[in-house]
């Protein structure tokens, strides 16, 4: 007996909030706008909690159909919602972190123009993201997919009068679109070969198929195309270029969309399609390789950046790479675990960065910061928790999730593990670099920087000097800090004495019947057919090895800390010397390996030139416009010629009559003689 | 035919009018040959006697002079005359080809005037009445159109 | 016994002359007279056919044509007088106020 949980309320409540704020918000006071936005997203969160509490009494997977949508021949797609452990985890993350960011934004955006617009867009984003997560078929998920891209565009370009913001919004949307193209082709292939886009139907159709070896095949194609879509949405190579530019948007936007939720949609989608990926080893390998490369690549760039938000952006790209490594080696629940902890600590880091920026009056360059430790204590302590979490230092959340991924990566290939380990070192290094530069030593900024004269973040409340953020901004920071500290504890692996409840919880989702996977992976528990438990009892040696590797990861994190401490606390002059001695290499990294410039010359400029020449001049102007102009001109000419018939001259009229009569007579004669 | 051609050839309208009278007269004779005495009589009385007189009156009244050469209409000469020629040649050709040599009896038809009267007041009564009304309207129109502006509006204040 | 085609040809010639006069002449009264010539040509052919088929309704129709011609001549001449009063000319080429 499946009770009706009214799952449709979850996405719809934020949509109502968005509509109210969007249509009437201009007339509301700020308090009303904030109230509306918070109450509707809060209501969605409460609903999710209610669902979570009744979760154990439900039959999993739990589906609810709202209405039939498309019925074309044998193909059917419905407005239907799908609830299983994976959806529940995503729902909790999206609504929980989303609600916290809503609260934070009330404080952060209080003095900005367009207050109502911001919250309307934010609620709209929640609607689309929740649709994406709850969808029971790929098509509804695609609606959510596109919708979050739209919301991202609207929010990145929130300060649309600023050219760079508007351009960044466009870049995000267009690059996303390229990924979506791959996604769409994958959907078409699915429809063609399996006749449906419903998750359950696809899973049932794909399960009996055997894994494709040799690299080519339908499932490999679908998997690769899905990965293209995921690369666009989750900012992997080569479609990551939009994420650093997206920092033009307000910081809460960066926190919500580009750290916690939207960019994780790609990981979620790949996990949902695990049935397909597990039978296409080549695609899985591509996923892992892309993830590895991206993680390393972005981390190297993050080391050299001076804008606090850009460092965090590249860090996000890098951490997403980790999640894809996990997916690529078949450890889907590890990927989701890291997704969850990353939402906590990256969201925290972004919000705290926003608090720092707010405190120093809009300055984002870390070289102008410093010594803020004593001046903004709440921000400092919460950001410390976040930094330690991302570096992977136990017992914080990041350690458990990252370690899980590295362990699973090692079991697939040493290369993945080694790269991941080095990237972890880099991560720790640049995060602590950020920490030291921002909070320690002496304040390097201009004395009156807190006047707030830089446009995106002025405040007129007359605060002078560096000040702590208001409580409405600090409380979400604290909550996220607590979560970053404790969030990993539900995933403590067996080797450290825990029972890894998270993995077991999600394992039910990732059951598959593929017999031919690596037996070591089977032992590690990702794939057994009849068991709900995914963590099969491991031999003691497995535990010991895992402990050793955990130790190595912690060591890497500590080395990173040490290096940062050395370069940015003890010897602050060294970084500059190292940079100048590395010369060209350093320059290349600082300029993001000139990838944007490369794309511009290879793709953007030819496209613009081609459009202008062929489509604009050739077709639009010379064909379409010309046709219309010439027909108008022709009409003019014809009437000009005919005008002469009406001359007012009687005799010419008579002439025409006589000529016409002659014609008629001729015709009659001709008809008569036929 | 001579009269008709002369009408075209003459420059002064009064000469053309007189040529037209000649044409009318000849036609009356033709009608007699075809056995339509009543029509011939009416032709002479009405056409030659009334209408042509009217024409001559107007020519005298308006003191119409010789035709001056003005810039004519190209269309009339370019299209009209050739068109007319084409039309008439076609008609002529058809008539010659098709009509054969059906003869027409000469001499009067028996009881023509009485029969015409009969037809006029029995079968063609409606057209007859309508035509009379038409004539009435024509008279009124002619009077109105040709009346001197002063005499009609002389009673109104200027 | 005169073949009917002779009468019809004469009628045609008269009509053609009328049309030519209408096209060539510049004096409005001459144009009117050409119209009368056309009507006469048509009358002739009516009478010819009436005689051929022994149908007196042909002659009755001629009667009507004449009446209408008379009425039309009256009105037309009145118009000519009116035009002469306003435009001071009988040349039809100079009465072209209606041109575009």
- Asked if B54 and C74 come within 8 Å (Cβ–Cβ), the reply is yes
The lowest-confidence range among A35-44, A418-427, A561-570, A632-641 is A561-570
In this prediction, residue A197 carries a pLDDT of: 84
**CA-based nearest distance C31→chain A, Å:** 10
Instruction: Give the residue numbers in A contacting C (CB under 8 Å), as ranges.
Output: 643-644, 646-651, 654-655, 658
Per-residue pLDDT, averaged over A28-38, amounts to: 83
Q: Which chain B residues are within 8 Å of C2, Cβ to Cβ? A: 33, 103-104, 106
Confidence band of B158 (pLDDT split at 50, 70, 90): very low
Q: Which of A52-56, A147-151, A486-490, A591-595 has the highest mean pLDDT?
A: A147-151
Query: Which among C42, B76, C59 is positioned nearest to A652, based on CA atoms?
Result: B76
Query: Which among A591, A40, B143 is positioned nearest to C77, based on CA atoms?
Result: B143
C partners (3+ CB pairs within 8 A) are A, B
Query: Which among A459, A469, A465, A413 is positioned nearest to A443, based on CA atoms?
Result: A465
A607: Cα separation from own chain's centroid: 26
Q: Which chain B residues are within 8 Å of C15, Cβ to Cβ? A: 88
A24-33 exposure pattern, b = at least 16 Cβ within 10 A, e = fewer: ebeebeeeeb
Distance CA B79, CA A654 (A): 10
Distance CA A596, CA A41 (A): 37
- Residue A554 corresponds to which tokens in the numbers above? 């912690």
Q: Which chain C residues are within 8 Å of A654, Cβ to Cβ? A: 22-23
B partners (3+ CB pairs within 8 A) are A, C
Instruction: Give the residue numbers in B contacting A (CB under 8 Å), as ranges.
Output: 72-84, 86-87, 90-91, 93-94
pLDDT at A539 over 50: no
Nearest to C33 among B46, B55, B96 (CB): B55
Angle between helices A308-328 and A332-359 (to 10 degrees): 180
How many residues appear in chain C?
100
Q: Which residue has the higher pLDDT, A321 or A27?
A: A321
Q: Which chain A residues are within 8 Å of B72, Cβ to Cβ? A: 651
Nearest to A658 among B74, B83, B94 (CB): B83
User: What is the gyration radius of the CA atoms in chain A, in angstroms?
Assistant: 30
Half-sphere exposure of A132 (CA within 13 A, CB side): 28
**CA-based nearest distance B158→chain C, Å:** 19
Q: Which chain A residues are within 8 Å of B71, Cβ to Cβ? A: none
Instruction: Assess contact for B11 and C90: CB atoms under 8 A.
Output: no
Confidence band of B136 (pLDDT split at 50, 70, 90): very high
Q: Which chain B residues are within 8 Å of C81, Cβ to Cβ? A: 58, 61-62, 145-146
- Residue A435 corresponds to which tokens in the numbers above? 């920490």
Q: Which residue has the higher pLDDT, A545 or A433?
A: A433
| Residue A62, beta-bridge partner list | A83
How many residues appear in chain A?
674
Nearest to B124 among C43, C60, C91 (CB): C60
Confidence band of B130 (pLDDT split at 50, 70, 90): very high
- Asked if B73 and A652 come within 8 Å (Cβ–Cβ), the reply is yes
In this prediction, residue B65 carries a pLDDT of: 67
Nearest to A646 among C19, C31, C100 (CB): C100
- pTM passes above 0.80: no
Per-residue pLDDT, averaged over B68-85, amounts to: 65
* Max CA pair span of chain B: 71
In this prediction, residue A459 carries a pLDDT of: 42
User: For A571-604, what is each residue's pLDDT tens digit?
Assistant: 777 777 777 777 777 777 777 777 777 877 888 8
**CA-based nearest distance A642→chain B, Å:** 13
What lies within 8 Å, CB to CB, of A583 at 6+ separation is none
In this prediction, residue B69 carries a pLDDT of: 59
Q: Which chain B residues are within 8 Å of C17, Cβ to Cβ? A: 4-5, 7-8
- The residue among B75, B94, B99 with the most chain A CBs within 10 A of its CB, best to mutate, is B75
pLDDT at B95 over 80: no
Walking along chain C (100 residues) 10 residues at a time, the average pLDDT comes out as 75 86 83 90 88 80 90 89 82 70
Helix, strand, coil % (nearest 5) of chain A? 75, 5, 25
- Residue A48 corresponds to which tokens in the numbers above? 């999710």
- Asked if B87 and A661 come within 8 Å (Cβ–Cβ), the reply is yes
C16-40 exposure pattern, b = at least 16 Cβ within 10 A, e = fewer: bbbbbbbbbbbbbbbbbbbbbbbbb
- Residue A131 corresponds to which tokens in the numbers above? 């649709």
CB atoms near residue C9 (< 10 Å): 18
- Asked if C24 and B115 come within 8 Å (Cβ–Cβ), the reply is no
Nearest to C97 among A648, A651, A655 (CB): A648
Q: Does B111 touch chain C (CB under 8 A)?
A: no
- The residue among C59, C65, C69, C98 with the most chain B CBs within 10 A of its CB, best to mutate, is C59
DSSP chain C: -EEHHHHHHHHHHHHHHHHHHHHH--BHHHHHHHHHHHHHHHHHHHHHHHHHHT-THHHHHHHHHHHHHHHHHHHHHHHHHHHHHHH---BGGG--TT--
State the alpha helices, DSSP H only, in A305-396. Answer: 308-328, 332-359, 377-391
- Residue A446 corresponds to which tokens in the numbers above? 């201009």
What lies within 8 Å, CB to CB, of A661 at 6+ separation is B83, B84, B87
With 0-12 / 13-18 / 19 or more C-beta atoms within 10 angstroms meaning exposed / middle / buried, residue A432 is buried
Q: Which chain A residues are within 8 Å of B77, Cβ to Cβ? A: 655
pLDDT at A37 over 60: yes
In this prediction, residue A497 carries a pLDDT of: 60
User: For B3-20, what is each residue's pLDDT tens digit?
Assistant: 777 777 777 888 888 888
Q: Does B94 touch chain C (CB under 8 A)?
A: no
CB atoms near residue A462 (< 10 Å): 7
- Asked if C29 and B38 come within 8 Å (Cβ–Cβ), the reply is no
Q: Mark which residues 59-78 of B lie under 8 Å from C by CB.
A: 59, 61-62, 64, 67-73, 76-77
Instruction: Assess contact for A501 and A491: CB atoms under 8 A.
Output: yes
User: For A412-439, what is each residue's pLDDT tens digit?
Assistant: 888 888 888 899 999 998 898 888 888 8
**CA-based nearest distance A660→chain B, Å:** 8
Q: Which chain B residues are within 8 Å of A641, Cβ to Cβ? A: none
Q: Which of A202-211, B128-137, C52-61 has the highest mean pLDDT?
A: B128-137
Half-sphere exposure of B115 (CA within 13 A, CB side): 14
- The residue among A642, A643, A653, A659 with the most chain B CBs within 10 A of its CB, best to mutate, is A659
What lies within 8 Å, CB to CB, of A138 at 6+ separation is A187, A190, A197, A199, A202
- Asked if C19 and A658 come within 8 Å (Cβ–Cβ), the reply is yes
Nearest to C19 among B73, B84, B123 (CB): B84
Cis peptide before A395 (omega within 30 of 0): yes
First to last CA, chain C: 56
Nearest to A649 among B73, B87, B91 (CB): B73
In this prediction, residue A524 carries a pLDDT of: 38
The lowest-confidence range among A74-88, A654-668, B35-49, B102-116 is B102-116
Nearest to C47 among B31, B50, B77 (CB): B31
Nearest to A655 among B80, B87, B90 (CB): B80
Distance CA A241, CA A244 (A): 7
- Asked if A655 and B91 come within 8 Å (Cβ–Cβ), the reply is no
In this prediction, residue A77 carries a pLDDT of: 81
Phi, psi of C54 (to 5 degrees): 50, 40
Map out the domains of chain C with their CATH numbers: 4-94 (1.10.287.3510)
Confidence band of A526 (pLDDT split at 50, 70, 90): very low
Confidence band of B132 (pLDDT split at 50, 70, 90): very high
Instruction: Assess contact for A30 and A110: CB atoms under 8 A.
Output: yes
Q: How many CB pairs under 8 A join A and C?
A: 33
Question: Any idea which residue has 């002389």 for tokens?
Answer: B154
Q: Which residue has the higher pLDDT, A463 or A366?
A: A366
Per-residue pLDDT, averaged over A268-277, amounts to: 87
In this prediction, residue A535 carries a pLDDT of: 39
Per-residue pLDDT, averaged over A359-387, amounts to: 82
Query: Which among A33, A7, A9 is positioned nearest to A19, based on CA atoms?
Result: A33
pLDDT at A215 over 60: no
In this prediction, residue A109 carries a pLDDT of: 85
- Asked if C92 and A648 come within 8 Å (Cβ–Cβ), the reply is no
DSSP A610-663: HIIIIIIIIIIIIIIIHHHHHHHHHHHHHHHHHHTT--S-HHHHHHHHHHHHHH
Q: Which residue has the higher pLDDT, A192 or A618?
A: A192
Phi, psi of A307 (to 5 degrees): -85, 130
Distance CA A434, CA A386 (A): 12
- How high does pLDDT run on average in chain B? 77
In this prediction, residue A212 carries a pLDDT of: 67
Distance CA C34, CA C25 (A): 9
Containing A87, the helix (H) or strand (E) segment is helix A85-108
Distance CA A480, CA A341 (A): 10
Q: Mark which residues 592-651 of A lie under 8 Å from B by CB.
A: 647, 649, 651
A521-550 exposure pattern, b = at least 16 Cβ within 10 A, e = fewer: bebbbbbbeeeeebbeebeeebeebbeebb
Per-residue pLDDT, averaged over B106-123, amounts to: 70
**Percentage of chain A modeled with pLDDT above 90:** 3
Instruction: Assess contact for A316 and A255: CB atoms under 8 A.
Output: no
How many residues appear in chain B?
158
pLDDT at A169 over 70: yes
Q: Which of B67-71, B152-156, C71-75 has the highest mean pLDDT?
A: C71-75
Phi, psi of A79 (to 5 degrees): -80, 90
ipTM field:
0.84
Q: Does A663 touch chain B (CB under 8 A)?
A: yes
Q: Does B30 touch chain C (CB under 8 A)?
A: yes
User: For A180-196, what is each residue's pLDDT tens digit?
Assistant: 999 999 999 888 888 88
- Asked if A646 and C98 come within 8 Å (Cβ–Cβ), the reply is yes
Distance CA B13, CA B1 (A): 18
Confidence band of A465 (pLDDT split at 50, 70, 90): low
Q: Which chain A residues are within 8 Å of C94, Cβ to Cβ? A: none
**CA-based nearest distance B134→chain C, Å:** 8
User: For A293-337, what is each residue's pLDDT tens digit?
Assistant: 999 988 888 888 888 888 999 899 889 998 999 888 888 888 888
Distance CA B61, CA B57 (A): 6
pLDDT at A532 over 80: no
């Amino acid at each position: 007996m499946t009770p009706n949980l009214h799952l449709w309320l979850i996405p719809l409540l934020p949509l109502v909030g968005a509509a109210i704020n969007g249509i009437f918000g201009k007339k509301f006071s700020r308090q009303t706008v904030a109230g509306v936005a918070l109450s509707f997203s809060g209501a969605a969160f409460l609903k999710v909690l209610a669902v979570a509490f009744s979760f154990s009494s439900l039959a999993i997977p739990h589906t609810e159909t709202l209405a039939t949508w498309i019925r074309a021949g044998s193909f059917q797609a419905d407005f239907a919602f799908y609830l299983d452990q994976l959806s529940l985890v995503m729902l909790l993350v999206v609504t929980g972190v989303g609600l916290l960011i809503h609260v934070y934004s009330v404080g952060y955006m209080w003095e900005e123009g367009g207050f109502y617009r911001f919250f309307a867009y934010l609620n709209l984003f929640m609607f689309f993201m929740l649709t994406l997560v709850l969808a029971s078929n790929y098509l509804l998920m695609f609606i959510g997919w596109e919708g979050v891209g739209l919301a991202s565009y609207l929010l990145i370009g929130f300060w649309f009068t600023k050219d760079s913001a508007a351009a960044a919004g466009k870049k995000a949307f267009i690059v996303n679109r390229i990924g979506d193209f791959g996604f769409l082709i994958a959907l078409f292939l699915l429809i063609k070969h399996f006749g449906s886009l419903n998750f359950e139907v696809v899973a049932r159709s794909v399960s009996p198929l055997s894994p494709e070896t040799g690299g080519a095949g339908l499932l490999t194609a679908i998997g690769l195309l899905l990965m293209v879509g995921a690369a666009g949405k989750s900012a992997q190579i080569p479609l990551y270029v939009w994420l650093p530019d997206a920092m033009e948007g307000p910081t809460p936007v960066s926190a919500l969309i580009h750290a916690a939720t939207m960019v994780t949609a790609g990981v979620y989608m790949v996990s949902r399609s695990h049935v397909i990926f597990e039978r296409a080893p080549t695609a899985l390998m591509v996923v892992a390789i892309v993830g590895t490369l991206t993680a390393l690549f972005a981390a190297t760039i993050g080391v050299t950046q001076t804008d606090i938000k850009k460092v965090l952006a590249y860090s996000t790209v890098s951490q997403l790479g980790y999640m894809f490594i996990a997916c690529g080696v078949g450890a889907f629940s590890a990927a989701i675990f890291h997704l969850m902890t990353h939402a906590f600590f990256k969201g925290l880091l972004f919000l705290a960065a926003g608090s720092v920026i707010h405190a120093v009056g809009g300055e984002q360059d870390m070289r102008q910061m410093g010594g803020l430790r004593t001046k903004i204590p709440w921000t400092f302590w919460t950001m410390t928790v976040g930094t330690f979490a991302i570096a992977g230092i136990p017992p914080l959340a990041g350690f458990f999730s990252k370690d899980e991924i590295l362990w699973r990566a090692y079991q697939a290939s040493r290369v993945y593990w080694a790269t991941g380990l080095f990237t972890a070192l880099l991560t720790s290094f640049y995060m602590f670099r950020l920490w030291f530069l921002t909070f320690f030593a002496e304040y390097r900024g201009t004395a009156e920087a807190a006047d707030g004269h830089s446009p995106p973040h002025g405040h007129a409340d007359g605060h002078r000097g560096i000040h702590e953020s208001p409580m409405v901004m600090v409380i979400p920071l604290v909550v996220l800090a607590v979560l970053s500290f404790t969030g990993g504890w539900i995933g403590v692996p067996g080797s450290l004495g825990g029972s890894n409840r998270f993995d077991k919880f999600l394992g039910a989702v990732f059951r598959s019947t593929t017999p031919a996977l690596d037996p070591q992976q089977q032992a590690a528990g990702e794939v057994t057919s009849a068991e709900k438990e995914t963590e099969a009892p491991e031999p003691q040696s497995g535990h010991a090895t895992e402990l050793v590797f955990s130790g190595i990861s912690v060591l890497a994190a500590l080395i990173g800390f040490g290096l940062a401490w050395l370069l940015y606390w003890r010897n602050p002059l060294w970084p500059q010397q190292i940079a100048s001695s590395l010369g060209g290499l350093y320059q290349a990294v600082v300029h993001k390996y000139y990838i944007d410039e490369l794309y511009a010359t290879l793709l953007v400029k030819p496209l613009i030139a081609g459009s202008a020449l062929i489509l604009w001049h050739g077709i639009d102007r010379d064909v379409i416009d010309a046709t219309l102009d010439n027909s108008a001109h022709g009409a003019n000419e014809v009437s000009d010629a005919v005008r002469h018939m009406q001359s007012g001259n009687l005799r010419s009229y008579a002439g025409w009559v006589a000529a016409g009569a002659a014609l008629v007579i001729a015709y009659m004669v001709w008809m008569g003689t036929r | 035919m001579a009269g008709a051609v002369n009408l075209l050839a003459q420059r002064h309208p009064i000469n053309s009018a007189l040529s037209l009278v000649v044409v009318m007269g000849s036609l009356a004779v033709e009608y007699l040959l075809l056995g339509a005495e009543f029509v011939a009589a009416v032709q002479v009385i009405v056409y030659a006697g009334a209408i042509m007189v009217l024409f001559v009156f107007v020519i005298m009244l308006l003191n119409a002079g010789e035709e001056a050469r003005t810039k004519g209409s190209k269309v009339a000469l370019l299209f009209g005359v050739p068109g007319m020629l084409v039309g008439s040649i076609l008609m002529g050709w058809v008539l010659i080809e098709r009509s054969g040599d059906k003869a027409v009896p000469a001499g009067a038809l028996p009881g023509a005037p009485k029969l015409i009267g009969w037809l006029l007041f029995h079968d063609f009564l409606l057209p007859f009445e309508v035509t009379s009304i038409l004539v009435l309207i024509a008279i009124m129109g002619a009077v109105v159109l040709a009346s001197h502006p002063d005499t009609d509006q002389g009673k109104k204040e200027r | 016994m005169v073949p009917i085609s002779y009468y019809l040809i004469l009628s045609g010639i008269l009509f053609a002359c009328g049309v030519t006069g209408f096209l060539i002449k510049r004096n409005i009264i001459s144009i009117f007279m050409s119209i009368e010539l056309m009507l006469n040509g048509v009358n002739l052919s009516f009478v010819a056919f009436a005689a051929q088929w022994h149908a007196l309704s042909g002659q009755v129709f001629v009667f009507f044509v004449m009446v209408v011609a008379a009425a039309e001549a009256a009105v037309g001449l009145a118009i000519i007088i009116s035009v002469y009063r306003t435009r001071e000319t009988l040349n039809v080429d100079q009465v072209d106020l209606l041109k575009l």
